[in-house]
Amino acid sequence: MLTPYRPEPYVNFAEHDPRQRMLEALAGVRGQLGQSYPLRIGGKRVETSDSIASSMPASPKTVVGRVAKATADHARQAVAAAADAFRLWSRVEPETRARVLLKAAAIMRRRVYELSAWMCHEVSKSWIEAYADTCETIDFLDFYGREMIRLGGSQPVTPFQGEDNEVRYMPMGVTVVIPPWNFPLAICTGMTSAALVAGNTVVLKPASASPVIAAKMVEVFEQAGLPPGVLSFVPGPGGAMGDTLVDHLQTRIVAFTGSKEVGLRIFEKCGKVAPGQIWLKRSILEMGGKDCILVDETADIDAAAEGVVAAAFGFQGQKCSACSRLIAHQAVYDALLERVVARTRALTIGDTTREENYFMGAVIDDGAYRKITDYIEIGKREGRHIPANINVHAPGPAARPADAGYFIPPTIIADVAPSARIAQEEIFGPVLAVIRARDFEHGLEIANGTEYGLTGALYSNDRLRIERARHEFHVGNLYINRKCTGALVDVQPFGGFNMSGTDSKAGGRDYVQLFMQAKSITERL
């Protein structure tokens, strides 16, 4: 009998045992860098003439691994193989499918330090951010497995005399999963496992910046007993190869997490019915955010400053939930800003694969480095730049990011107008725009004044304002008197409004149902 679900607990890396185990895992992964990973199509390993070299953001000349690069033809083969495997997998009992997830969770629990160490290398997560990513992965597997046991079989309906009535949730078909690089294990596994446990087959196109950890996830599913062909692994470019997967006639669902621009393109493509297509494709989209923390004059500003810094600069601000805007009531603006700056200057930044447990690592790649630094220059023209004055502990000179790593210190731009570019556009980096509000009404107006609606937080001790925020702060995840990042599976189901996506609520009790369709069955007695 299964125990009730509970989120996986974190460790404290200030303690000796977790620190030593992490250092051992980092050394172990360091000895495995540069290996090659084939495609997986229809249960077969497929080598290709071209590959994707995944490099360390903190040391770009170091190759984490070389992953076979799929073509459009490989994509078509993968969809065909998934459609064929669906005939068997869709008929497997829900409890059996759930056990595959529960077994995968057990394997990952045993490998938690190793998997975390891979993320420190491939995406430059800090130790605790990487560990939390792995814990969330385990949570998704444990929770969705239990959910499928709940949703499997006949669902309750109102009895009607003379008839036997029931509702069953049915799998839908081939699901294309396109995850992001910033939560390369948790989000990748969450979308994949929900589709699989619902009885669908999956074609996985991982992010090109983090394909190695996705390959590790595929290995875990194989070890957990997932039948060959149920999950295909086809890394490749988002252009021709990605379009082939989305457009394919046999694709039934597309689950995507990433940028607004790509998400809208997928949404449009799924909305077009091609000749011979006999169903409406379903798109499950989690896109961007321009999240904020609103602080009024009644708040505990020390607690607010702590939450702002953690949410703005954790994992280099590379979270769709990150606090990229601080909106402060004019009565506490200066005092709060002073505390935020002081806490920011106490942060550390460096190569997270080494012995020092740095708070921040490097941003993901050269493209991100250039985009973020361009926005910082824009910010300097739109507000008052407050230097962080933090030393970067990089392998080489910080002026040469192509050699030394893509390190960007946390950046604070004060006195920003609500309509400024850095207050409206998603930067996806360690850049915080600080905005002054005249009063709570004005602050709420600023908070809601973007095209996004993912996460937000309010620090206040005014009960009426807190209750008003529950109704009028227009985000999918609202936090009161805590930071706006760090959602836990089945504690804070995650998903946003407006251009932040379809509010799919990953880690919630209705998420697995998005990958199924309900069938009502009546038999006259």
What CA–CA distance (Å, rounded) separates 78 from 401? 37
Strand 44-46 to strand 39-41: parallel, antiparallel, or no bridges (unpaired)?
antiparallel
What CA–CA distance (Å, rounded) separates 392 from 249? 50
pLDDT of 391 reads: 83
The answer to whether the beta carbons of residues 60 and 216 sit under 8 Å apart is: no
Would you call 513 helix, strand, or coil by DSSP? helix
Q: Is the dihedral of CA 59, 61, 66, 72 positive or negative?
A: positive
How large is the average pLDDT for residues 3-13?
Answer: 97
What CATH number is attached to the domain comprising 338?
3.40.309.10
Find the largest Cα–Cα distance for the chain: 80
Residues 273 and 333 in one domain: no
The set of residues, in sequence order, having a beta carbon less than 8 Å from that of 343 and lying 6+ positions away, is 305, 306, 309
What CA–CA distance (Å, rounded) separates 483 from 308? 6
Residues 234 and 297 in one domain: no
What CATH number is attached to the domain comprising 270?
3.40.605.10
Work out the angle between the directed axes of helices 94-110 and 127-151 (0-180°, nearest 10): 160
Strand 291-295 to strand 455-459: parallel, antiparallel, or no bridges (unpaired)?
parallel
% of the chain at pLDDT higher than 70:
98
What CA–CA distance (Å, rounded) separates 355 from 348? 13
Per-residue pLDDT of 169-222, as tens digits, reads: 999 999 999 999 999 999 999 999 999 999 999 999 999 999 999 999 999 999
Residues acting as catalytic residues: 286, 320
Residue 493 lies in a domain: no
Query: Whose CA is closest to 137, among 75, 189, 72?
Result: 189
Residue 400 has pLDDT above 80, yes or no: no
Residues 269 and 392 in one domain: no
Strand residues in 258-309 grouped as ranges (E): 282-286, 291-295
What CA–CA distance (Å, rounded) separates 149 from 65? 37
How large is the average pLDDT for residues 493-507?
Answer: 96
Q: Give kind and range of the element (H or E) at residue 222.
A: helix 211-223
pLDDT of 289 reads: 97
Residue 494 lies in a domain: no
What CA–CA distance (Å, rounded) separates 71 from 234? 8
Domain span holding position 375: 291-488
The number of angstroms, rounded, from the C-alpha of 305 to the middle of its chain's C-alpha atoms is 25
Residues 369 and 249 in one domain: no
Q: Is the dihedral of CA 378, 381, 385, 389 positive or negative?
A: positive
Per-residue pLDDT of 235-265, as tens digits, reads: 998 888 899 999 999 999 999 999 999 999 9
Residues 265 and 331 in one domain: no
The answer to whether the beta carbons of residues 433 and 379 sit under 8 Å apart is: yes
Cα angle 94, 97, 98 (rounded to 5 degrees) comes to 85
**In terms of pLDDT, which residue wins out, 389 or 501?**
501
Residues 369 and 311 in one domain: yes
Residues 20 and 165 in one domain: yes
Per-residue pLDDT of 34-89, as tens digits, reads: 999 999 999 999 999 999 999 999 999 999 999 999 999 999 999 999 999 999 99
Helices (H), 12-163: 16-30, 72-89, 94-110, 112-123, 127-151
Place of tokens 């190793």: 114
Residue 496 lies in a domain: no
Residues 295 and 415 in one domain: yes
